[in-house]
Chains A and B, each alone.
Chain A
Amino acid sequence: MFLTITRTFKEAIKNFIRNGWLSIATVSILIMLLYILSVFFIITSIVNDVLKETQDKVDISISFQSDISEQSILEVKNELEKFSEIKSVTYVSKEQALENFKKSSTLRPIILQTLDVLGSNPLLNALVIKANDVNQYQLISEYIKKAPFNNKVSRTNYDEHKDAINKLNYIIAVIKKIGTALGLFFTIISLLITFNAIRITIYTHKQEVEIMRLVGASNSFIRMPFIFEGVIYGVVSSIFSMLILFISIKFITPYVSSVVPTSNLVGFYLSNFWSLLGGQILLGSLLGVIGSIIAMQKYLKV
């Protein structure tokens, strides 16, 4: 048994090397497939991150009239928190709001000076609402308008943010649709190409398989080296694909970070290194093995 396994393994490695150009061609196609899929995977997760970050930044705030007590505002807060669409409601007192405002406007000293001169706080107590999903703000805003506590509300900023929120919603929907379509398209096409390339590689050994049968090799003895060969294709291609991926990420990072400053491609690559490599090896070998088995079936007459 051990003898067979070591022989099989040696045989597969020899075949891989002696195939020369055919191996190179098959591996190249496999590298291309794995590379495209990884790039797609990375783009998808980065876009998702950016979208999520942007979504998290979106909120609407209800400012209450200045004579409304903190107590009754908190009652409204409790009321709102009952809605499943609402992720969180935060009470922001006007003092806190001023504090936040001062922090965020450090670059505009004139405004700060004005505030000092004014002496009093022009801001209002408010509730900041975050929804679970960006397209639920419309619904929430409509509810607030009709709610019994609406007479206490000075204003909500939904209408000001409405266009931006809708636009964001639209963009997210479009990106998701395009992403899914492109992803499916690439995956199917490259799977087919790769699959075929592997089958062709095996088909060229048709005569070889026939001879092996004549010499008295059992089907498994014939098949195993080819299956191992499939695994070798997967492993070699994954390693190359990871290498190329790293180089292209290094190259593209300056351009990406000028557009999306928060992105960290190299960091993403490194922190996902093992899962990327593992996934590629798994997919590559699986394709290699399935391709071999299907191609072999024909000649082994099983």
Chain B
Amino acid sequence: MIKFDSVSKIYKGDLPVLEDINLEIQEGEFISIVGQSGSGKSTLLKLIYAEEMATTGEVHFNNSLLNNISRRKLPHHRRNIGTIFQDFKLLERKTVYENVAYALEVAGASNEEITENVPQILEIVGLGGKMKKYPHQLSGGEQQKVAIARALVHTPMVIVADEPTGNLDPKSSMEIMQLLIRINSLGTTVVLASHDKFIVDKVNRRVLLLENGRIIDDCAKGKYKNIADCARGKNKTS
């Protein structure tokens, strides 16, 4: 569904952030991209939701090329993807309910769809009682749940999560990860970037290790600590 073909990304006058990335992500997969800060994880995700464009090579999403996607088509592309970030990126001036509803409004959903789906999805993430609160009235974990609800509400094909637990305590982190795993088990593809080995181990699915912009390892069923084993041939994907 997502395909990187010899992709490199170089920011103007700088060293390459990503180099020669070849990667294929299948529908329904849960893939964790790990690596240190600056290894290119975020940039790789940005190429998926077309916030950045590849310098060389091709990025395909659902059989369409993203390299020079037009401004007109970009919003439509984004509606296929739910994004979750370390800093939540909620609209501060909107309530929990409105934040989630916004993702439906931009896609032109009817008022009926909104009044039906939004409370439902907030119930699922466990925030049914806080729909009228503003983001600043919530804890970090709760804010991230709002972000997840927003990412999910328009039933996207892929959830892209960039360090979703980076600002959270271990308990909240676990809750968020459980939510993501559950979402994945219902069929949505999840692409997770993280340097937190604890949560990556918890997922215990495909792991991709990035270092200095290159893919070092790609394990079908990896744990952070045994990626080295993977390098020696265990559990390696084709």
Answer yes or no: B232 CB below 8 A from chain A CBs: no
A208 to B91, CA, bound (A): 6
- Encode contact with B along A49-78: 1 for CB under 8 Å, 0 otherwise: 000000000000000000000000000000
**Within the complex, which residue of A3, A15, A18, A208 is in contact with B108, where a contact is CB–CB below 8 Å?**
A3
A218 touching B90, Cβ below 8 Å: no
Chain B residues, Cβ within 8 Å of A117: none
Stretch at the interface among B7-15, B99-107, B169-177: B99-107
Interface string of B145-186 (1 = CB under 8 A from A): 000001000100000000000000000000000000000000
Q: Is the CB of B49 within 8 A of A214?
A: yes
Contact B108 A4 (CB under 8 A): yes
Question: Residues 1-38 of chain A: 1 if any B CB is under 8 Å from the residue's CB, otherwise 0?
Answer: 00110010000001100110000000000000000000
B residues within 8 A CB of A217?
Answer: 75, 102, 106
- Whether the Cβ atoms of A15 and B93 lie closer than 8 Å is yes
Pairwise interchain contact B92-A215, C-beta atoms closer than 8 A: no
Which of A4, A14, A207, A216 sits near B78, CB closer than 8 Å?
A216
Task: Please state if B93 and A19 are interface contacts (CB–CB under 8 Å).
Answer: yes
Interface membership of A152, Cβ < 8 A: no
A212 interface residue per 8 A CB criterion: yes
Contact B83 A212 (CB under 8 A): no
Closest to A214 in B: B83
The docked-state distance in angstroms from the alpha carbon of A213 to that of B103 is 10
Expressed in whole angstroms, the Cα–Cα distance for A19 and B77 within the complex equals: 31
Do B78 and A214 touch across chains, with their CB atoms under 8 A apart?
A: yes
Q: Which of B77-115 contact A (CB under 8 A)?
A: 77-79, 81, 83, 89-93, 102-103, 105-108, 110-111
Report how far A63 CA is from B35 CA in the complex, Å. 107
Q: How many Å lie between the Cα of A212 and that of B49 in the bound state?
A: 13
Are A216 and B75 neighbours in the complex by a CB distance under 8 Å?
A: yes
Q: Closest residue of chain A to B89, judged by CB?
A: A211
Classify chain A: how many residues form its interface, as a range. Answer: 20 to 34
Given A18-B93, A211-B91 in contact, is the A7-B105 Cβ separation under 8 Å? yes
Contact of A216 among B72, B89, B90, B107 (CB under 8 A): B107
Contact B71 A219 (CB under 8 A): yes
Chain B residues with Cβ below 8 Å from A216 are 75-79, 81, 103, 106-107, 154
Within 8 A of B (CB), among A216-249: 216-219, 221
Q: With an 8 A cutoff between CB atoms, is B116 at the interface?
A: no
Cα distance A85–B125 when bound, in Å? 86
Q: CA–CA, A208 to B38, complex, Å?
A: 26
Measured in the bound complex, the distance between the Cα atoms of B7 and A192 in whole Å is 47
Q: Which of B91, B106, B108, B154 has the most CB of A within 10 A?
A: B106
The answer for the CA separation of A14 and B49 in the assembled complex, in Å, is: 29
CB–CB A218/B83 < 8 A: no
Q: Once bound together, how far apart are the Cα atoms of A284 and B77, in whole Å?
A: 37
CA gap between A207 and B90 in the complex, in Å? 9
Residues of B within 8 A of A213 (CB): 75, 78
Cβ of A302 within 8 Å of any chain B Cβ, yes or no, is: yes
Do A3 and B93 form a contact, CB below 8 Å, given A214-B83, A215-B78? no
Contacts of A4 in B (CB 8 A): 108
From A215, which residue of chain B is reached at the shortest CB distance? B103
Tell me how far the C-beta of B148 lies from the nearest C-beta in chain A, rounded to whole angstroms.
13
Determine how close the nearest CB of chain B comes to the CB of A300; give it in whole angstroms.
9
Binary interface encoding of chain B residues 29-53 relative to chain A, with 1 for a CB under 8 A from any of its CBs, else 0: 0000000000000000000010100
Q: Is B78 a contact partner of A208 (Cβ separation < 8 A)?
A: no
| Shortest CB distance B161–A (Å) | 13
Contact A215 B150 (CB under 8 A): yes
Contact of A212 among B51, B76, B102, B107 (CB under 8 A): B102
> Which residue of chain A lies nearest to B106 when distances are taken between CB atoms in the complex?
A217
Shortest beta-carbon distance from A205 to chain B in Å:
8
List A contacts of B79 (CB < 8 A): 216
Task: Please give, as numbers and ranges, the residues of chain B lying within 8 Å of A212 by CB-CB distance.
Answer: 91, 102, 106
Pairs across A and B, CB under 8 Å, 15 listed: A3-B111, A18-B93, A207-B89, A208-B93, A212-B91, A214-B49, A214-B51, A215-B78, A215-B83, A216-B76, A216-B81, A216-B103, A216-B107, A218-B106, A219-B75
**Interface residues in chain A, defined as those with a beta carbon under 8 Å from any beta carbon in chain B:** 3-4, 7, 14-15, 18-19, 207-208, 210-219, 221, 302
- The 4 residue pairs across chains A and B that have the minimum distance between CB atoms: A216-B78, A216-B79, A217-B106, A218-B75
Q: Contacts A211-B89, A216-B76, A217-B102 known; list 4 others, CB within 8 Å.
A: A15-B93, A18-B93, A207-B89, A216-B107
